[in-house]
Amino acid sequence: MAVTIITGAGSGIGAATARELARRGDSVVCADVRLDTAETTAGELPEALAMEVDVTSAASCSRMVEETLRRFGDVNSIVTCAGVEKHGPGHEFAEEDFDWIIAVNLKGSWLSARSAVRAMIDAGHGGTVVMIGSINSVVGNPGASAYCASKGGVLMLGRTLALDWAQFGVRVNIVGPGVVDTPMSAKSLADPQRRARMMERTPLGRPAPPGEIASVIAFLTSDASSFMTGAYVPVDGGSLAAW
């Protein structure tokens, strides 16, 4: 049975991913900086472990993987959903906010994947890594320079790690959600004007429930995607195809 670690599993896309992968039979590790929400996710699932992790800390990421090995004996996949966002024009944005966003979204994706892939290499088998980029990995968004920089970074990070780790049979792919109905986007979606603006650029005309991102993550952590590595997979309702 596959063992999958999901960071940011306390909320939104991470929580939906934990549910989707548990449903297909994975043992899932629900890791989040908030243990209480991770426990809520794990509590509803049959074969799940909740864990506190701060993905900005290398030590915390190693502990997460050690704990996973102790409990489940192996790790086959990691999905890095932990992420943060903060808006503000580039000329006013605070340095500590910039550092925080890069630390969680970009460096955190690397640190958590690195720990898991070290275990895969030690075990002598391959595995899969899925990183959560964003439509902002490839197009900009005014007032979100740090977030967009972090997500552009995740795309190139994932592509290059795919090259580093192909020789170990570890595939790395990047998912690019568009507008997803989660706590992260709740404020924008609640404002009718902002929601209308976002939907104008979404040909399918609706935000995705987080399960629609999770089902793509399930594909990328399965053998069905056997020849895919380093790919960017948008799940954006057609936003990148739109005028």
Partner 1 sequence: MSGRFAGKVAVVTGAGRGMGRAVALRFGREGARVVVAEVNPEHGAQVAVEIRAAGGTAIAVTVDVSQTSDVSRLFAATVKELDTVDILVNNAGIAVARPILDYTEEEWERQMGVNVKGVFFCCQEAARLMIPRRQGKIVNFASTSAFVSSSKPEVAYDTSKGAVRQMTVSIAAELAPHGVNVNAVAPGTTATEMTRSTLATEEGLAWQVARIPMGRVGQPDDIASAVLFLCSAEASYITGHTLVADGGWLLY
Ligand X SMILES: NC(=O)c1ccc[n+]([C@@H]2O[C@H](COP(=O)([O-])OP(=O)(O)OC[C@H]3O[C@@H](n4cnc5c(N)ncnc54)[C@H](O)[C@@H]3O)[C@@H](O)[C@H]2O)c1
Please list every residue from 109 through 168 that binds ligand X, using CB under 6 A. 132, 134
Q: Which is nearer to ligand X, 122 or 197 (CB)?
A: 197
225 lies in the site for partner 1, by CB under 8 A = yes
215 lies in the site for partner 1, by CB under 8 A = yes
Structure-token pair, residue 122: 């030690």
166 lies in the site for partner 1, by CB under 8 A = yes
**SS3 of 35, please?**
helix
**Which of partner 1, ligand X, none has residue 163 at its interface (CB below 5 to 8 Å by kind)?**
partner 1
Calculate the alpha carbon distances from 161 to 24, 45, 72, 126 in Å: 27, 31, 25, 14
Q: Which is nearer to ligand X, 1 or 196 (CB)?
A: 196
Task: Choose among 237, 216, 214: nearest CA to 11.
Answer: 214
212 lies in the site for ligand X, by CB under 6 A = no
Q: Which is nearer to ligand X, 122 or 187 (CB)?
A: 187
Q: How far is the CB of 232 from ligand X (least distance, A)?
A: 13
Structure-token pair, residue 124: 């002598």
Site for ligand X (CB under 6 A): how many residues?
A: 32
Q: Which is nearer to ligand X, 75 or 179 (CB)?
A: 179
Task: Choose among 1, 152, 126, 174: nearest CA to 73.
Answer: 1
Rg value, the chain, Cα: 17
26 lies in the site for ligand X, by CB under 6 A = no
**Which of 26-34, 47-55, 129-137, 224-232 is the region at the interface with partner 1 (rule: CB under 8 A)?**
224-232
Contact present, 53 and 195 (Cβ < 8 Å)? no
51 lies in the site for ligand X, by CB under 6 A = no
**SS3 of 75, please?**
coil
Structure-token pair, residue 154: 């995740």
117 lies in the site for partner 1, by CB under 8 A = no
Q: Among 72, 98, 110, 147, which one carries the catalytic annotation?
A: 147
Distance between CA atoms of residues 123 and 224, nearest Å:
22
Task: Choose among 38, 37, 36: nearest CA to 6.
Answer: 38
Among 22, 82, 157, 162, binds partner 1 (CB under 8 A): 162
Calculate the alpha carbon distances from 232 to 103, 105, 138, 177, 186 in Å: 21, 16, 10, 10, 25
Q: Is 147 a catalytic residue?
A: yes
Chain residues that interact with ligand X, rule: CB under 6 A: 7-8, 10-14, 32-34, 37, 53-56, 81-85, 104-105, 108, 132, 134, 177, 179-180, 182-185
